[in-house]
Amino acid sequence: MTGIKKYPTKQFDCWGLAKELRMDIYRKLGQKATGEKDWLVVSGGTEGLIGLPAGLGEDYVPFGGEPYGASTGALGKSVEMMGYCEKKGYARDLCGYCRNYLGSTFGDSYTFGGKYPHPDLYFQLHFCDTHGKWYQPAAEFTDKPYFVIDIGAMYRWPKWNESEERKKYKFDYLLKQMHDSIDWMTEKTGREYNDELLGDAVYNEIMCTSKWAKCCELNKNIPAPMDEKSMFAFYVIHVLRRHTKEALQFFDILYDELTDRIDKGIAGVEYERFRMIHNSQPPWHSLDIFRYMEKFGVACVGSQYDFMLSGGWDYYYDEKDVPHIKAAEPPSDLKEQIKTRDGALRALTAWLLDYGIQGRSFRFPMIERRNIDSVIARDWNCQGAMMHLNRGCEGWAVGQLEVRRCLVENGFPVLSYEGNVADPREFDRGKTYARIDSFMEANQLKKLVD
């Protein structure tokens, strides 16, 4: 290994806190299932509006379908849960997260042990083709109320020069549904809605997603202070609970630790010499592929998925008309905006439509969707990309090979592999490792450690 630099590494000081914040949600859900504590559990997708039910009371616990489906895959429970779903006649080409979630519902089996914590309400933002229907069979099976908000069309990308009138239609369409959903929640629960709790939740969400984006920007540094596998443990905090003060405090702590790691030259990958981005969700059941690539000195420094899920990013063009992304800045008067219900909902609507870049990309293979991974690869100082041709997510698959083509056209070799975000039966481990080995050989990267 003559001439190959070895960087100092260390475990994150905030690793234990990240684990505690994540498991706090699942522990409370377990208490709901056993009757130990009757939390108000509202279940739905985590990509949009998990802060809205916060106004129902401090006993509110969100039950997000996607992170639960991912955890089910990571803990090796997918085949069991999907079996319950398949017995009901659901096809294997359905969203992998959805099959894990519905299987747990039908089988009354909780990934973390014991009976399933059936929610009090189902509340969903229709974000992808599966989501609006995802929770309908769950609500029917448990005989619980269900409300869906249709996000409609996001604001167009900057170069489309969308009219202010058109943007106002989109804004008002989403805003009215948010107001309607609060009326529905109070009717179904019989509770008074606390606008102050809503304001706090909106403030935390906006600040939280912005701060996570700033953490991701620090990974432009060489060496990158975070590796991809660690990022999966951190990003899920804002996915699960970005509306809470605990999540915001965590990302402040993480940001400070990352800047300290950069100052001290501490790396996420010991022998970083070749940087890559990842496209699509990872195969949660096989995250060891990232550790395997590290043996060749490869550092995966992020992905559109863990960067942008839940928003917080601005997309812009520089003076040479070159596209870039950067962390979105919260409005300077945010604390004033959130003092009323309408003000808080307007702030959240604007944040989602302006800075929910993944919402603009997801399902919409327009020119910027094609470009955005190349933008990340270039600005995060990468030499290549890896792409999960993921049978478990229809939304990420749309336009994916055009994204690959754009990466190649911009000089980034792409390691592609097939699999499923949650179903290990769709993943050929031997074939995937063989493809990794071939990619490394083609790029003259020999294994540095066993």
Q: Which of 98-107, 119-128, 137-146 has the lowest mean pLDDT?
A: 119-128
Domain of 227?
Answer: 15-442
In a domain, 94, yes or no: yes
Q: Are residues 79 and 70 in contact, defined by beta-carbon separation less than 8 angstroms?
A: no
Asked if the structure places residue 276 within a domain, the reply is: yes
In a domain, 399, yes or no: yes
Q: 3-state secondary structure string, 401-444?
A: HHHHHHHHHCCCCEEEEEECCCCHHHCCHHHHHHHHHHHHHHCC
Give the side-chain half-sphere CA count within 13 A for 261: 28
pLDDT in tens, 35-87: 999 999 999 998 879 999 999 999 999 999 999 999 999 999 999 999 999 99
Domain count across the chain: 1
357 found inside a domain: yes
Which pair of structure tokens corresponds to residue 243?
């509306």
Residues in the chain: 450
What is the pTM (predicted TM-score) of this model? 0.96
How far apart are the C-alpha atoms of 151 and 262, rounded to whole Å?
Answer: 39
Query: Cis bond leading into 158, ω under 30°?
Result: no
Calpha distance 158→18 (Å, rounded): 35
> Which tokens is 351 given?
């944040």
pLDDT at position 311: 74
Which has the closest alpha carbon to 95: 133, 144, 139, 125? Answer: 133
- Is 8 within a domain? no
Q: Which of 67, 200, 184 is nearest to 122 (CA)?
A: 184
* Distance in angstroms (rounded) separating the CA atoms of residues 322 and 317: 5
The reply to whether 5 falls in a domain is no
The tens digit of pLDDT for each residue in 264-274 reads 999 999 999 99
For 76-103, the pLDDT digits (tens) are 999 999 999 999 999 999 999 999 999 9
pLDDT at 132: 83
What's the mean pLDDT in 100-110? 98
**Assigned domain for 7 exists:** no
> In the structure, what pLDDT confidence band is assigned to residue 253 with cuts at 50, 70 and 90?
very high
Mean pLDDT of the 277-286 span: 96
In a domain, 2, yes or no: no
